[in-house]
């Protein structure tokens, strides 16, 4: 959240959207979007959001909550939207929502993932990231959820996984 000691940026400063027209090479053998392909896209957009926020190199520390609620097939339009929800000292949580979009622009959720990215220097050591300016009620709710997940991940690491 906002701190006087470090620079702060807004959620919108790094928000990113990426759109794909589904091609045969994105599909699995059943003709649906291949899960590994989607994971690669999620990791890529989360990386871009995090790099835009911290203006440095990043590495992926964790990906949570991959649920596939809808499929997508050839000629569908798939949209990924990524935004920062929470920042620690050197880590950033990015929420990535994936949708399949109809020809009329109606979006159905395929997946929601939370990705933890860590800013690193040239020696791959974690470095501090800018704080996050929480501007809306929505940003605040995301921040509070992110804070809980941050603590939970720390606890899980203490317990050994």
Ligand X SMILES: CCCCCCCCCCCCCCCC(=O)SCCNC(=O)CCNC(=O)[C@H](O)C(C)(C)COP(=O)(O)OP(=O)(O)OC[C@H]1O[C@@H](n2cnc3c(N)ncnc32)[C@H](O)[C@@H]1OP(=O)(O)O
CB of 99: closest distance to ligand X in angstroms? Answer: 19
List the interface residues with ligand X, window 122-141 (CB under 6 A): 124, 126
Residue 24 near ligand X by CB under 6 A: no
- Please report whether residue 91 would count as binding ligand X according to CB under 6 A: yes
Nearer to ligand X, 66 or 133 (CB): 66
Determine the residue with CB nearest ligand X.
88
Give the residue, chosen from 23, 24, 36, 158, that forms a contact with ligand X under the rule CB under 6 A. 36
Decide the pairing of beta strands 8-10 and 131-133.
Answer: parallel
b/e code 124-143 from CB counts within 10 Å (16+ = b): eebbebbbbebeeeebeebb
Select from 6, 69, 89, 151 the one that contacts ligand X (CB under 6 A): 89
Q: Does 111 bind ligand X (CB under 6 A)?
A: no
Q: Does 59 bind ligand X (CB under 6 A)?
A: yes
Whether 89 contacts 53, CB under 8 Å: no
60 belongs to the binding site for ligand X (CB under 6 A): yes
- Closest separation between CB of residue 68 and ligand X, Å? 14
Under the criterion CB under 6 A, does residue 37 sit at the interface with ligand X?
yes
Q: Which residues bind ligand X (CB under 6 A)?
A: 25, 36-37, 39-40, 43, 59-62, 88-91, 116, 118, 120, 124, 126, 153-154, 157
């Amino acid at each position: 959240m906002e701190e006087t000691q470090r620079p702060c940026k807004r959620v919108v400063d790094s928000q990113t959207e990426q759109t794909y027209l589904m091609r045969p090479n994105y599909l699995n053998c059943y003709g649906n979007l291949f899960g590994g392909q989607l994971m690669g896209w999620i990791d890529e957009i989360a990386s871009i959001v995090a790099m835009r926020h911290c203006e440095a190199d990043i590495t992926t520390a964790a990906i949570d909550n991959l649920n596939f609620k809808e499929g997508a097939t050839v000629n569908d339009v798939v949209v990924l939207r990524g935004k920062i929800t929470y920042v620690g000292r050197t880590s950033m949580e990015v929420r990535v929502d994936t949708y399949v979009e109809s020809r009329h622009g109606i979006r159905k959720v395929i997946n929601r993932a939370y990705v933890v990215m860590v800013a690193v220097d040239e020696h791959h050591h974690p470095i501090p990231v800018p704080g996050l300016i929480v501007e809306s009620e929505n940003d605040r709710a995301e921040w509070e959820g992110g804070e809980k997940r941050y603590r939970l991940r720390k606890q899980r690491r203490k317990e050994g996984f």
